[in-house]
Amino acid sequence: MPFRETAWREIDLSAITSNYRAIRAAIGSDTKVFACLKQDAYGCGAEKVASVLSEAGADAFGVVSIADALAVRKAAAGKPILVYPGIGPNAVDLVRNLDLTISISGEEDLAGWLATGTPLKVFVKVDLGFWRAGVAPSDLPGLMDLCATEGNVAVDGLYAHLNEFGDAGSSAPAQLARLTPLLEELRAKGRLPGTIMVSSSESLLHHPEFDMDAVDPGALLFGLTRSRDGRRILPTRPALAAIKARIVALKTCHDSMGAPPGLPGYHAAMRMAVLGIGWGHGVPRDLDSSASVLVRGQRAPIVPPIHLEHLRIDVTNVPEAAFGDEAVLLGSSCADRITLPELASAWNTDETGVACGLRESLRRIDVTQQSRPNQQEGE
């Protein structure tokens, strides 16, 4: 990597394709895959990810923002794009021009879109216990009846996202049980949409019986959710292969600088390196005391605080460290490796939080076959 880059992330697009194929093999050919590419494809770049997944055979895409919709449409002409709740009727021109399918979560929502006078392709979203966007099950029949009376509305699908509250919320089977009689009622009326979808990453792993007409995995496509104890064991790999930065300053500290700050990690005569990465790139400002990087295959502790463009590391025990050296925040260096779960723990978040928390200022570099399967020890 040329020295002009002081910080970057490495994205393994082949991992995304491999993860997609693992999902496809698990669910079979009769169930569609709506690849969820929200948050700029979980930080991997929506346009490039849409391109590789379109070539791999993804049936459709899911996004939240107009920016992601624009990127996906550029890469995947003709593929359906479902927009999750997040845009309003003021975006109707883009919805029409990009041929987007919108989400409807209630009658008030529908009324706003109808006021535009534009023909609409719609997926109705129902809230089965997530306590987020979506029409309440009790109001679903009325909303579907209303849609049926509107000539400008084509209801192509009905979907839900199951809750993530664990024991604090309803079980997945209990949530689905709220939907089943409503589907039977819609079928009896001849109003059952062509696509029913309730399974995203976690449900896909734990409840194969929820596959239905389509699934919309997100985190699983990027190797951020794995089959620890699910009924499906999928050999996924993390798409975020590495986070790296350069040493942009290096010195042995001296008492002419004054006493060491009264913060963890500082000591007299420490050999300190400064990396060209900081919270402006997405590194959290508050890290666990265990946070470290790899320099020439050796661990170097991160010394607080984190700055907008820089962070300090203690390389006292890495005497061969040199100006311009590569420091690895995530990934391998010689025989050592910082895994994504380890980094997430040090950053006080989860793996999705790491991937989606990185900022646009941290350049993406495409690599291939740099990441390892999630089923290996230590992942």
Asked whether residue 22 is assigned to any structural domain, the reply reads no
284, 200: one domain = no
pTM for this prediction: 0.92
Nearest to 47 by CA among 75, 77, 17, 12: 75
Asked whether residue 26 is assigned to any structural domain, the reply reads no
260, 217: one domain = no
89, 200: one domain = yes
244, 218: one domain = no
192, 285: one domain = no
180, 262: one domain = no
Per residue in 87-133, pLDDT (tens digit) is 999 999 999 999 999 999 999 999 999 999 999 999 999 999 999 99
Asked whether residue 12 is assigned to any structural domain, the reply reads no
210, 260: one domain = no
Asked whether residue 7 is assigned to any structural domain, the reply reads no
CATH code, 285: 2.40.37.10
Asked whether residue 129 is assigned to any structural domain, the reply reads yes
Per-residue pLDDT 10s for the chain (379 aa) are 555 789 999 999 999 999 999 999 999 999 999 999 999 999 999 999 999 999 999 999 999 999 999 999 999 999 999 999 989 999 999 999 999 999 999 999 999 999 999 999 999 999 999 999 999 999 999 999 999 999 999 999 999 999 877 777 889 999 999 999 999 999 999 999 999 999 999 999 999 999 999 999 999 999 997 656 778 889 999 999 999 999 999 999 999 999 999 999 999 989 999 999 999 999 999 999 999 999 999 999 999 999 999 999 999 999 999 999 999 999 999 999 999 999 999 999 999 999 999 999 999 999 985 455 554 433 4
Asked whether residue 214 is assigned to any structural domain, the reply reads yes
201, 289: one domain = no
The span from the CA of 324 to the CA of 6, in Å, is 9
105, 187: one domain = yes
Nearest to 201 by CA among 214, 212, 190, 217: 217
Asked whether residue 9 is assigned to any structural domain, the reply reads no
Q: Look at residues 161, 193, 222 and tell me which one is the last residue of a structural domain.
A: 222
246, 218: one domain = no
Number of domains within the chain: 2
Domain extent, residue 156, equals 31-222
Q: Look at residues 222, 257, 281 and tell me which one is the last residue of a structural domain.
A: 222
Distances in whole angstroms, Cα of residue 297 to Cα of each of 8, 106, 165, 342: 18, 55, 40, 16
Q: Look at residues 156, 191, 222 and tell me which one is the last residue of a structural domain.
A: 222
The span from the CA of 211 to the CA of 31, in Å, is 7
